[in-house]
């Protein structure tokens, strides 16, 4: 019996696409892709009130070795119903959304085949309409339709294009039209930099920028955006797509990846460096002195980039940002900071909700590097954030300044740590809720601790020397515990206090706490 619910990962679909890792059997193959395509077609036709023959969908992929096969599976799901498909080949997630915006495509939907920063054997799907990425409830409905071949298919009508396959190198496949969205997308980014920097056709002349694409999809930003504008990208690294990701994880949150970029910037004397995740919906940076602009730093940078044009606007972030970041945003930039929930769709949805309610909110951003600007359709686009950073760097260089001056007043905690505590109890969701409820009561009865409010996720505790946030993972049987202290080594005392509280719960594996 099909059980596609396990493939849902919030507002995305993710699964094991190929063998290769011990104990991990594929559950997202071209066969499942056929069903998921049909489920998406049902959902889309119903939403748009269109018949399938009038629907156009663009599909792109990251360099994972399973991508082409999953593309074939999607085509076998769409093809019988006569849906027109653009095959965009190697692409980025934001570019696939832009196929619904660019007049050259004007698609009804875009699909990106990717599993973001996950290992080579994983893959998945991200879906877009002109309204943006789909929400969790949309994905649940699509997977419901995928599980049941008869569910909702009346909306599609009978397949009228069953004989529509053509022979390609001896194999029968449904045809797709080639869609070179990346050329259009790169031209779009180049123009943004030219217009924003205001220094002619080659505003980056004389600048050395290191780009680290982690062998994902992001190499285009160096070769097709920065270089034509005059930048020296000769010391960039891992630009060639390789779905095995042999050098380091394509992930701005990965310590090895960030260290690799920092060392390359220092070694080559570059002005700064940029790094992308696999599908380029996240990014981070390194300044000319090799210092990371990531996590709280990338949030501060993005906030500073909107502050001058949108004074007083609200910045929505995830829940694990520091007190120092709040001070930088509110006291330093004069903006408002709303610390919300983990999950890039959560912060985006909250930002859009605030705007509907009359509160100006120009930026939704996670410490992971997902940054969505109102001016850019609230699309979490790592290349767009990188573009704004490049524009500002070009302007600063003309003034004899460097990128790091933007966030030079941002202070950092003296000690930071994250511990992920496994829940071994069967009903981990209910068990996690009980622990959080008990923790809230524990803090209220304490003379030293206090609840940091407003708070929208888990329990955030104020300590004399810092803070701690204990929450449930979005998808896994884990209690992530993030903490920061204003004292060197201060997280040790926070861990000791939390361990004493948690030690009475037999359904937790506290070995990770030392």
Per-residue exposure over 225-244, b if at least 16 CB sit within 10 Å of its own CB, e if not: bbbebbbbbebbbbbebbbe
Please say whether the beta carbons of 501 and 439 come within 8 A.
yes
User: pTM, whole model, 2 decimals?
Assistant: 0.95
- Mean pLDDT, the chain, rounded, equals 96
Q: Are residues 344 and 229 in the same domain?
A: yes
DSSP string, 290-349: S-EE-THHHHHHHHHHHHTTSTT-EEEE-TT--HHHHHIIIIIS--EEEE--SSHHHHHH
The yes-or-no verdict on residue 155 having pLDDT over 90 is: no
Q: Distance (Å, rounded) from C-alpha 262 to C-alpha 308? A: 29
Q: pLDDT at position 172, please?
A: 78
Summarize pLDDT for 357-402 with one digit per residue, the tens.
999 999 999 999 999 999 999 999 999 999 999 999 999 999 999 9
The secondary structure of the chain in percent helix, strand, coil, rounded to multiples of 5, reads 40, 20, 40
Please say whether the beta carbons of 34 and 77 come within 8 A.
yes
The yes-or-no verdict on residue 476 having pLDDT over 90 is: no
Q: pLDDT at position 153, please?
A: 72
For 321, the domain range is: 183-407
Going through 80-203 in order, the beta strands assigned E by DSSP cover: 84-90, 109-113, 122-129, 132-133, 166-168, 171-173, 177-178
Q: Are residues 468 and 378 in the same domain?
A: no
Domain boundary among 154, 179, 204: 179
Q: Are residues 34 and 173 in the same domain?
A: yes
Q: Are residues 482 and 362 in the same domain?
A: no
Q: Are residues 14 and 87 in the same domain?
A: yes
Q: Are residues 336 and 292 in the same domain?
A: yes
CA distances (Å), 121 to each of 22, 194, 308, in order? 11, 39, 44
Task: Identify which of 438, 452, 323, 300 has the alpha carbon closest to the alpha carbon of residue 371.
Answer: 300
Q: pLDDT at position 1, please?
A: 63
The CATH number of residue 459's host domain is: 3.30.310.50
Confidence class of residue 284 from pLDDT cuts 50, 70 and 90? very high
Q: Which residues pair with 16 in a beta bridge?
A: 122
Domain boundary among 407, 427, 462: 407
Length in residues, the chain: 514
Please say whether the beta carbons of 471 and 7 come within 8 A.
no
Q: Are residues 102 and 223 in the same domain?
A: no
The yes-or-no verdict on residue 244 having pLDDT over 90 is: yes
Q: pLDDT at position 301, please?
A: 98
The yes-or-no verdict on residue 95 having pLDDT over 80 is: yes
Q: Which of 131-140, 142-151, 328-337 has the lowest mean pLDDT?
A: 142-151
Q: Where are the alpha helices (DSSP H) in 218-315?
A: 219-220, 255-268, 296-307
Q: pLDDT at position 143, please?
A: 96
Q: CA angle at residue 353 from 472 to 325, to 5 degrees?
A: 60
Summarize pLDDT for 172-195 with one digit per residue, the tens.
788 999 999 999 999 999 999 999
- Domain tally for the chain? 3
The yes-or-no verdict on residue 154 having pLDDT over 80 is: no
Q: Based on the number of CB atoms within 10 Å of its own CB, is 152 exposed (0-12), middle (13-18) or buried (19 or more)?
A: buried
Domain boundary among 131, 163, 179: 179
Q: Are residues 351 and 307 in the same domain?
A: yes
Q: pLDDT at position 320, please?
A: 96
Q: Distance (Å, rounded) from C-alpha 416 to C-alpha 490? A: 9
Neighbours of 50 (CB within 10 A): 15
Confidence class of residue 167 from pLDDT cuts 50, 70 and 90? confident
The yes-or-no verdict on residue 150 having pLDDT over 90 is: no
Summarize pLDDT for 493-514 with one digit per residue, the tens.
999 999 999 999 999 999 999 8
Confidence class of residue 230 from pLDDT cuts 50, 70 and 90? very high
Q: pLDDT at position 475, please?
A: 79
Side-chain half-sphere exposure of 299, counting CA atoms within 13 A: 32
The yes-or-no verdict on residue 166 having pLDDT over 70 is: yes
* Beta strands 459-463 and 283-286, pairing class: unpaired
Q: Are residues 208 and 313 in the same domain?
A: yes
Q: Are residues 158 and 289 in the same domain?
A: no
Q: pLDDT at position 474, please?
A: 78
Return the HEC string of 9-77.
ECCEEEEECCCCCCCCCCCCCHHHHHHHHHHHHHHHHHHHCCCHHHCEEEEEECCCCCHHHHHHHHHHH
Q: Are residues 88 and 192 in the same domain?
A: no
CA distances (Å), 216 to each of 263, 276, 279, 373, in order? 20, 8, 7, 23
* Beta strands 379-380 and 272-276, pairing class: unpaired
Please say whether the beta carbons of 80 and 162 come within 8 A.
yes
Handedness of CA 99, 101, 104, 109 (dihedral sign): positive
The CATH number of residue 213's host domain is: 3.40.120.10
Q: Are residues 82 and 9 in the same domain?
A: yes
Summarize pLDDT for 50-84 with one digit per residue, the tens.
999 999 999 999 999 999 999 999 999 999 999 99
Q: pLDDT at position 163, please?
A: 82
Confidence class of residue 323 from pLDDT cuts 50, 70 and 90? very high
Q: CA angle at residue 387 from 327 to 222, to 5 degrees?
A: 130
Return the HEC string of 408-435.
CCCCCCCEEEEEEEEECCCCHHHHHHHH
DSSP 359: -
């Amino acid at each position: 019996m099909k059980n596609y619910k396990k493939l849902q990962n919030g507002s995305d679909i993710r699964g094991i696409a190929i063998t290769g890792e011990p104990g991990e059997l594929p559950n997202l193959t071209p066969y499942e892709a056929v069903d998921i395509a049909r489920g998406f077609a049902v959902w889309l036709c119903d939403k748009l009130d269109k018949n399938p023959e009038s629907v156009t969908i663009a599909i792109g992929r990251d360099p994972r070795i399973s991508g082409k096969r999953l593309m074939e599976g999607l085509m076998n799901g769409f093809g019988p119903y006569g849906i027109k498909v653009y095959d965009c080949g190697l692409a980025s997630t934001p570019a696939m959304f832009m196929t619904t915006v660019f007049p050259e495509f004007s698609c009804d939907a875009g699909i990106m085949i990717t599993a973001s920063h996950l290992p080579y054997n994983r893959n998945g799907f991200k879906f877009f309409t002109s309204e943006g990425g789909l929400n969790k409830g949309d994905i649940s409905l699509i997977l419901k339709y995928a599980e049941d071949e008869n569910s909702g298919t009346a909306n599609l009508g009978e397949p009228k294009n069953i004989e529509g396959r053509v022979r390609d190198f001896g194999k029968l496949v449904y045809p797709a039209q080639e869609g070179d969205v990346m050329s259009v997308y790169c031209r779009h980014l180049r123009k943004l930099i030219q217009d924003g920097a205001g220094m002619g056709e080659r505003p980056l002349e004389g600048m050395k920028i290191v780009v680290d694409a982690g062998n994902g999809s992001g190499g285009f930003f160096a070769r097709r955006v920065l270089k034509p504008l005059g930048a020296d990208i000769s010391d960039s690294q891992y630009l060639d797509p390789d779905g095995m990701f042999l050098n380091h994880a394509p992930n701005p949150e990965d310590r090895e990846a960030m260290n690799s970029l920092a060392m390359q910037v220092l070694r080559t004397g570059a002005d700064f460096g940029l790094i992308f995740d696999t599908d380029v919906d996240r990014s981070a940076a390194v300044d000319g002195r090799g210092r990371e602009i990531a996590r709280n730093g990338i949030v501060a940078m993005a906030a500073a980039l909107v502050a001058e044009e949108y004074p007083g606007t609200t910045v929505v972030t995830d829940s694990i940002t520091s007190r120092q970041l709040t001070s930088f945003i509110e006291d330093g930039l004069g903006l408002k900071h709303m610390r919300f929930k983990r999950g890039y769709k959560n912060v985006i949805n909250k930002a859009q909700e605030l705007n509907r309610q009359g509160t100006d909110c120009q930026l939704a951003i996670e410490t992971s590097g997902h940054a969505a600007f109102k001016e850019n359709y609230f699309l979490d686009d790592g290349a767009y954030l990188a573009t704004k950073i490049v524009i500002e760097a070009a302007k600063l260089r003309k003034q004899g300044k460097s990128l790091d001056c933007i966030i030079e007043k941002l202070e950092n905690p003296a000690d930071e740590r994250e511990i992920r505590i496994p829940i071994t109890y069967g009903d981990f969701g209910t068990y996690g809720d009980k622990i959080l409820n008990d923790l809230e009561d524990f803090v209220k009865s304490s003379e030293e601790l206090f609840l940091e409010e407003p708070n929208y996720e888990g329990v955030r505790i104020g300590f004399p020397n810092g803070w701690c946030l204990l929450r449930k993972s979005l998808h896994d049987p884990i209690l992530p515990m993030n903490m920061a202290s204003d004292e060197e080594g201060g997280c040790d005392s926070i861990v000791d206090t939390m361990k004493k509280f948690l030690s009475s719960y037999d359904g937790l594996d506290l070995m990770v706490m030392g």
